[in-house]
């Protein structure tokens, strides 16, 4: 089964968390300050850069910014990948 990894800027996470109408869960506790958000983002990206060359399955990298600013081409790429 193909997989995908979505990468976005850490500055997207905190505002969305602050304005979301939900309780803070363990998974979002890293996003309560700019410093922790940046640190968590760096950890995730370090993990991805380590794991990516070791993967034996097909994958696609997907940037949030591409989906926002170039919606059709970005999702066409994803749908073509899944086809």
Domain edges within the chain: 3-82
Q: Are 69 and 9 in contact (CB under 8 A)?
A: no
The model's pLDDT over 15-32, given as tens digits with 9 standing for 90+, comes to: 555 555 555 556 677 777
pTM above 0.75, yes or no: no
Judged against a pLDDT cut of 60, whether residue 58 lies above it is answered with: yes
**Residue that is written with structure tokens 């983002």 in the block:** 41
Using left for φ > 0, alpha for ψ between -120 and 50, and beta otherwise, residue 81 falls in alpha
Question: For residues 31 and 45, what is the distance between their CA atoms, to the nearest angstrom?
Answer: 15
The model's pLDDT over 29-46, given as tens digits with 9 standing for 90+, comes to: 777 788 888 888 888 889
């Amino acid at each position: 089964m193909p997989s995908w990894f979505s990468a976005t800027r850490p500055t997207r996470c905190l505002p969305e968390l602050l304005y979301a109408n939900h309780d803070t869960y363990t998974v979002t506790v890293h996003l309560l300050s700019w410093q922790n958000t940046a640190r968590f983002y760096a950890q995730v990206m370090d993990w991805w850069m380590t794991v990516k060359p070791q993967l034996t399955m097909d994958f696609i990298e997907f940037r949030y910014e591409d989906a926002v600013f170039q919606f059709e081409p970005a999702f066409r790429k994803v749908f073509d990948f899944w086809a």
